[in-house]
Amino acid sequence: MTSPSFSLLIVGTGALATLFAARLRAAGVEMTLLGSWPEGVEALRRHGARLWVEGEAEARAFSVRVATRPEEVGQVRFALVLVKAWQTARAARHLQACLAAEGVALTLQNGLGNVETLAGALGRERVAVGVTTTGATLVAPGVVRPGGEGVIHLGEHPRLEPVVRWLQRAGFSVEVSPDVQGLIWGKLAVNAAINPLTTLLEVPNGALVANAAARLFLRRAAWEVQAVAGALGVRLPFPDAADAAEEVARRTARNLSSMLQDLRRGAPTEIDAISGAVVRFGRQVGVSTPVNQALWEMVKEKVERRRQAAPSAHKKNGA
């Protein structure tokens, strides 16, 4: 039997997957991307993962291996899961076929429920959890513009050390924390405050703090998440979720949120795993979440209107 490869598998071909692939390849890390988005797969195969840094005349390209089926990957010890929350079940099935028994899959995804889905397929011991505030905008399939630098926060896991070294070699700031639930809910608070509003208004992140009404909605959405987390006994990694969300919006002022990028290219959004999750958990613990409820419903309505107006575009998924 062939020994599992010590290289890295990146599951996804969207903005963050392309960014991580480019930076890791620039640092000499061997990896394969696994995805099903036809335009993304073709672009990555033909031109590599292209990193478009502001001020440079053209994007820097880094050759990468791309697979569309887990059978093409072989057995790997390390996987980085960077697909959208609604794609996690498929990613888990693919990883069942190619992640070694002693391997580990690290999820840096948005929203709630990803860990449980992956663990249900792979076993909890083969799933590591993290969050990242690193920003990226997909300029075109296979071409990414870096956003805010951010930090990668990882929960403790005994098999993660090689992945941590690779990420640090690629210039990412990595911190390990024992309180992974606090990290996940902290990221959820920021996402719930920024992503739906930027999607509804179709503005970059910084516009939310430049407008008094938008800023108020941002703060209220974040506070609702903090209230739900507190009722669940989860302590966020910052004292005030609204202040944290504002700080991220300012630091990534020119970025387009991932949800707005999804809307514009006709892909499904992660609204159910973000605002929808806040509402569902709020109901469980008896915490009212009217702002997140409204944002959830309005984004879903906007996505549906876009889908009806351009049904063919909605088939693109960025996986």
Helix (H) or strand (E) holding 313: none
Using CA atoms of 271, 141, 136, 300 in order, give the dihedral in degrees to the nearest 10: -10
Torsions phi, psi of 178, nearest 5?
-80, -15
Phi-psi region of 2 (alpha: psi -120 to 50; beta: other; left: phi over 0): beta
What order do you get walking across the sheet with 49-51 strand by strand? 60-62, 49-51, 143-146, 136-140
Angle 228-231-236 from CA coordinates, rounded to 5°: 65
Integer Rg of the chain from CA:
19
Angle 287-290-293 from CA coordinates, rounded to 5°: 105
Beta strands in the chain (DSSP E): 5-11, 31-34, 49-51, 60-62, 65-67, 76-81, 99-107, 127-132, 136-140, 143-146, 152-155, 174-177
The two tokens of residue 131 are 């969050």
Angle 306-222-146 from CA coordinates, rounded to 5°: 65
Question: DSSP readout, 170-205?
Answer: TT--EEEES-HHHHHHHHHHHHHHHHHHHHHHT--T
d(CA 94, CA 71): 9
Q: Which of 84, 187, 315, 316 is catalytic?
A: 187
Active site includes 187? yes
Phi-psi region of 233 (alpha: psi -120 to 50; beta: other; left: phi over 0): left
Which DSSP category does 235 fall into? Answer: P
Partners of 11 in the beta sheet?
34, 81
Q: Which residues are catalytic?
A: 187
